[in-house]
Amino acid sequence: MSHPALTYTLGDRQVARLGYGAMQLAGPGVFGPPKDEARALQVLRDAVAAGVNHIDTSDFYGPHITNQLIKKALHPYADDLVIVTKVGARRNDKGGWLPAFTPEALTQAVEDNLRNLGLDVMEVVNLRSMLDVHGPKEGSLEPQVEAMIKLKERGLVRHIGLSNVTAKQVADAQAMTPIACVQNLYNLANRQDEALLDQLAAQGIPYVPFFPLGGFSPLQSDQLSEVANELNATPLQVALAWLLQRSPNILLIPGTSSPEHLKQNLASSEVKLTPEIVQRLNTIGQR
Ligand SMILES: NC(=O)c1ccc[n+]([C@@H]2O[C@H](COP(=O)([O-])OP(=O)(O)OC[C@H]3O[C@@H](n4cnc5c(N)ncnc54)[C@H](OP(=O)(O)O)[C@@H]3O)[C@@H](O)[C@H]2O)c1
């Protein structure tokens, strides 16, 4: 199998398919400051130095703290760096995740992101559905998409994306405005979005899986470990390589708070999977 191209168009920017997800930089439970701020700043600087030009974040990580770390580490930003944020949620004082889904709250959230990141305009903002915090749920997102369109008209947002959404919600939103990307849960073991992923690929729209490594408890499987041993790679490198090979419109945003893990994750582009190995790995998600 030929190795997939390692860049793809996001909005009107060309980004490396191996990006970085900043959520792990805040304190435990994505709440409060990191235990080791210097290490968090190093991860961000190492990522950009290694060629990462797509960083996924949100002002509700921390809250505010993750964006402030990104600004501290990387501002003034390189011209080619695309920072993508998401709006739709807020945190309570115990770290709980609550909807902040009114047009006013979405507007406030975009303004908070801009201020904490030190930007005048966000390249891409994902509207994160909070109809159900745990997963996509059918229902109208029309008032929220309208609010995003207004923010675009005000010049605060260049491209609108969607997160935690169903295929119908994507199609309904596309009838209102261009959608630049979709960010949903997807990885080797969670493949409910296969049809949506292929549909977006046909439209040239990036699909950005969140929890590409399995999230807070990374993927573990005997089959994955077996393949990793054969390839002299780590299981999580194989999981990322599988995503890279699954479809050219997949953009990866693996999250880590560790410079060492970052290095391993970025090296996953060197892991080549034969069709036979892909077939073996595919059985993990079919169980
Ligand atoms: N739209 C949404 O609703 C939504 C939801 C969740 C996440 N996201 C986005 O998606 C991004 C990725 O998700 P995520 O960070 O939660 O999950 P993830 O990328 O699937 O996995 C992160 C976990 O894997 C560990 N890890 C990373 N690299 C590793 C390696 N090489 N070896 C061993 N362990 C490793 C991390 O711990 P260490 O820190 O110890 O490396 C962390 O526990 C987030 O940063 C966020 O931007 C979006």
Segment 239-269, tens digit of pLDDT: 999 999 999 999 999 999 999 999 999 999 9
Segment 118-139, tens digit of pLDDT: 999 999 999 999 999 999 999 9
Whether pTM exceeds 0.95:
yes
Ligand 1 in contact with 239 (CB < 6 A)?
Answer: no
Provide the CATH number for the domain around residue 126.
Answer: 3.20.20.100
Catalytic residue from among 61, 77, 186, 207: 61
Whether 2 is covered by a domain: the verdict is: no
Segment 61-75, tens digit of pLDDT: 999 999 999 999 999
125 Cα: distance to centroid of ligand 1 (angstroms): 19
Say how far apart CA 9 and CA 238 lie, in whole Å. 24
Say how far apart CA 10 and CA 182 lie, in whole Å. 11
Its domain, for residue 58, covers: 7-286
Alpha-carbon dihedral of residues 74, 77, 79, 84, nearest 10 degrees?
90
Kindly tell me if the per-residue pLDDT of 286 is higher than 90: no
Q: Is 61 a catalytic residue?
A: yes
253 Cα: distance to centroid of ligand 1 (angstroms): 8
> What pLDDT sits at residue 48?
98
> What pLDDT sits at residue 3?
41
Whether 216 is covered by a domain: the verdict is: yes
- Residue 20 CA: which ligand 1 atom is closest? 45
Whether 44 is covered by a domain: the verdict is: yes
Say how far apart CA 63 and CA 91 lie, in whole Å. 7
Whether 1 is covered by a domain: the verdict is: no
Choose the residue to mutate in 18, 20, 24, 270 for probing ligand 1, maximizing ligand atoms within 8 Å of C-beta: 24
Q: Whose CA is nearest to atom 25 of ligand 1?
A: 256
213 Cα: distance to centroid of ligand 1 (angstroms): 6
Whether 181 is covered by a domain: the verdict is: yes
> Which tokens belong to 9?
């168009």
Domain count, the chain: 1
Confidence class for position 287, pLDDT limits 50, 70, 90 = low
Average pLDDT of span 21-47: 98
